[in-house]
Amino acid sequence: MLPATETDRDILRDILKYDSSNSSFTTMELPSSTYYELPSNVEDQGSPWGALRRGDVAGFSAGILVLLLIIVGVVWKWLWSPSTKRRSLYGPTIPRTPSAVSLQHLCRRSCEVVDNESDTSSITEPHQNQPTAEKLVDVPTDWHCGPRQLHAKDVGWYLESTWDVLLTVAPVFFIVLPVLILQLNGESLSTQGESIQRVIRLSPTIYPILFAAICSRFYKNLARWRLEQPGGINMAALEQVSGSQSFAGAFERLFLVRTHVRIGFAILIVWAMSPLGGQGIVRSLSIGRAITPANRIILYVHPSYQVSYYSISTFATRASSTVNLLYSSSLLSPPKQKKSPRDLWDLPKIPQWRKDALDEVYYADEAALGRDDVHYVSLLGVDVQGIIAPTEKTQYDFSVETTYFDFDCEEPTHDLDGSFGILKSFRDYTFAATIRGEGSLEASSLNATKSLYLLFASRSGGLFNCTIEPMVVETDIRCGASPSTATCSARRQRRLDHQDTASRFLEKLIERPEALQHVFKAWPYADGVGERTETSSPTVNFLSGNANPYAEVKGGSWRIVPSTEVSKRLTTAFNTFWTATLNPYGYTDVSLTSYPESNVLSRLIPQSKAFMNISAAVVNTERTVYRANRFWITVVLITTFVLQFLAVTGFALRYFIKGPDVLGFASSMTRDNPYVPLPPGGSGLDGPDRARLLQTMRIQLVDVRPEQDVGYIAVQTVPTAGSEQVVGEEDTVAMRPFTRRRFYM
């Protein structure tokens, strides 16, 4: 017994807790889901027998019961069968004197001696009337138990009949099994499937054994039945069929007998079905993956249908801290996060439309996004709801329509003399921006094609004049399940020519002059630095390509920064800030798996819960299922139907056979053999019964004419070892070993 460890003592101490008030031990209560109850002071250590189910135990018990019944039946037959009653060997026996009638001397008449030069055709074979040497056989005179009917219905007959019936119906199980496997095709893993899999694992062992038992019975009964028919059977055919009770025997008979080749090949083909059936069952069922499509409604936030919190001063004051946190945390995120297809809240980010793509549909280039060759519209993703991440792998495919401001900046101008009408208080900020347009900026006179300009300048020098174009894009989103939430990313994208949507989005920015002024006044403060600083602001650092925008970097020259890169980063920075003003509270309360309680569209007042548009998603759920191999199931059914035919035919032939079973038994060589002088009788005995009754008799394959030039080989009896036979020299059995140089008749 192993010594207890400290862990064991702790476990026992937790299980058995002493209650000082009651002076008794209290035991921990086991969960109600356990299959069987353990003693209260014993912990289940996961015994391997705990995995056994009631069906396993019942099957195991039934198998033991059947085995016991077979053993009892065999013992009963051996002890009480009338044909096998034990008789004393000291009863009436064959007289050992040469004058005894039952063991009279058979005179030996030698065949004509032929020398090497003589014709061997003159040698005659011995027959029943020719005398042979006396062999004394010490067996009872009624060793065969007297006359009796063929196939007496004793206990052995009933046991044999029961076995034949079971053997005949057994193949039905392997016909039902493929049907059950077909029913499992495409189904999820289940308890029934596990039971069938356990049976399948045993089938490669059971199927060949059953096949051999049925096939050997069929060929044996066929040979016996054909042997009893009028006209008999060809000897070679009898040897071919009766010797094919195994694959090796059939193969041997085919090449040794070398007759009835077609029959031999047909028998071999039947035997070859045994491994095909066994292996086919194993390959008929496997574990695979299945995709189950379904439709689901996905909700997402469309920027054109939101009202900015900065359009009204009271709302702007309330939401400014949240907007600034969203903007600054996005800029503060590491470079890997900025290049990620998802934002800090796992919401999918939209890539900027490639201007060289025209109207084509193209796939999002994740590699280019990772290298910063392509930028995202915003560092904040699209708020998506209605994505459920089940236990199994699920994939959502849907499209979202979004709008954003695209900036195209010219090379910077370094003369900041105020000729561009920039804000008078510009030098009090780290950077400044404003919008200019051709003519009036009234919302009623604007459309999506009207030319608007953004003037952007930083304290480090450099004034950018950038055109503004509202873009409407449709992006295909794919979401896959992960342990925490749904991970979504953009896959494909195309530009939409929706002038109304673009105009509506533009109106949200410039419909109120005071709101427009408030937006560009609040933007420099959103990164958390604010006014009057000697270093560049995080926003300016981001626009110049600094991987760490919040590093203390003094203003550098814009001359080394390509204007195309400034345009892309300016698009990302401004749309990040603008998106935060549209839905500031939606990112702090992300719920991808549920739908909103209310969905109200407001055109004038900002809503705490953003209005969400609808998108139809195709949901593909990948499940672990059973896969049935129809090819191998067909092979199993063909082999099993052949086996069932052999089983039924072999069972039917048994009742057409009337004579004793003598084929293939060594005891049959003692039947009507002049060199095995037995008392008359026993012609109706089966081979096993004859061997059991003559169990003490010894026989030998010898040359029964050792003194002649040409020998004769036959089975004859030899004295039993330790017998008290007394014979004279003339009664001595002469034997001669076989030699290759001697001729035999």
Interval 658-667: pLDDT, tens: 888 788 788 8
Which of 672, 744, 660 has its CA nearest to residue 702? 744
Give the model confidence (pLDDT) of 515-533 as tens digits. 777 888 888 888 887 665 6
The whole-number pLDDT of residue 730 equals: 44
The whole-number pLDDT of residue 65 equals: 56
| 211 and 157 housed in the same domain | yes
In a domain, 386, yes or no: yes
**Helix H or strand E segment including 467:** strand 463-481
In a domain, 443, yes or no: yes
Q: What is the mean pLDDT of residues 18-45?
A: 39
Quote the domain boundaries for residue 362: 295-622
Which of 149-153, 161-165, 504-508, 672-676 has maximum average pLDDT?
Answer: 161-165
| 484 and 550 housed in the same domain | yes
How far is C-alpha 405 from the chain's CA centre? 51
What's the whole-number average pLDDT of the chain? 75
The whole-number pLDDT of residue 285 equals: 92
In a domain, 165, yes or no: yes
In a domain, 418, yes or no: yes
* 136 has a pLDDT exceeding 50: no
| Side chain identity at residue 296, one-letter code | R
The whole-number pLDDT of residue 606 equals: 82
Which of 593, 728, 745 has its CA nearest to residue 105? 728
Q: Per mean pLDDT, which range of 208-217, 334-343, 532-541, 565-574 is the poorest? A: 532-541
| Nearest-angstrom CA–CA distance, 480 and 457 | 42
| Side chain identity at residue 605, one-letter code | I
| 321 and 467 housed in the same domain | yes
| 273 and 356 housed in the same domain | no
| 459 and 586 housed in the same domain | yes
The whole-number pLDDT of residue 23 equals: 39
* pTM of the complete model: 0.60
Instruction: Name the domain count of the chain.
Output: 3
In a domain, 38, yes or no: yes
The whole-number pLDDT of residue 482 equals: 61
Share above pLDDT 70 across residues of the chain, in percent, rounded to a whole number: 71
| Nearest-angstrom CA–CA distance, 668 and 682 | 11
| 614 and 640 housed in the same domain | no
The whole-number pLDDT of residue 417 equals: 55
| 513 and 547 housed in the same domain | yes
**Domain boundary pick from 659, 681, 711:** 659
Largest CA distance in the chain: 155
| 230 and 344 housed in the same domain | no
The whole-number pLDDT of residue 108 equals: 33
| 410 and 320 housed in the same domain | yes
The whole-number pLDDT of residue 433 equals: 82
Give the model confidence (pLDDT) of 99-124 as tens digits. 333 333 322 333 333 333 333 333 33
* 151 has a pLDDT exceeding 80: no
| 609 and 556 housed in the same domain | yes
| 556 and 642 housed in the same domain | no
* 475 has a pLDDT exceeding 70: yes
In a domain, 95, yes or no: no
* 1 has a pLDDT exceeding 60: no
| Nearest-angstrom CA–CA distance, 364 and 490 | 6
The whole-number pLDDT of residue 493 equals: 92
The whole-number pLDDT of residue 300 equals: 92
| 482 and 387 housed in the same domain | yes
In a domain, 139, yes or no: no
Give the model confidence (pLDDT) of 177-203 as tens digits. 999 999 999 888 899 999 999 999 999
Give, as one character, the DSSP assignment of residue 440. -
In a domain, 71, yes or no: no
* 281 has a pLDDT exceeding 90: yes
The whole-number pLDDT of residue 282 equals: 93
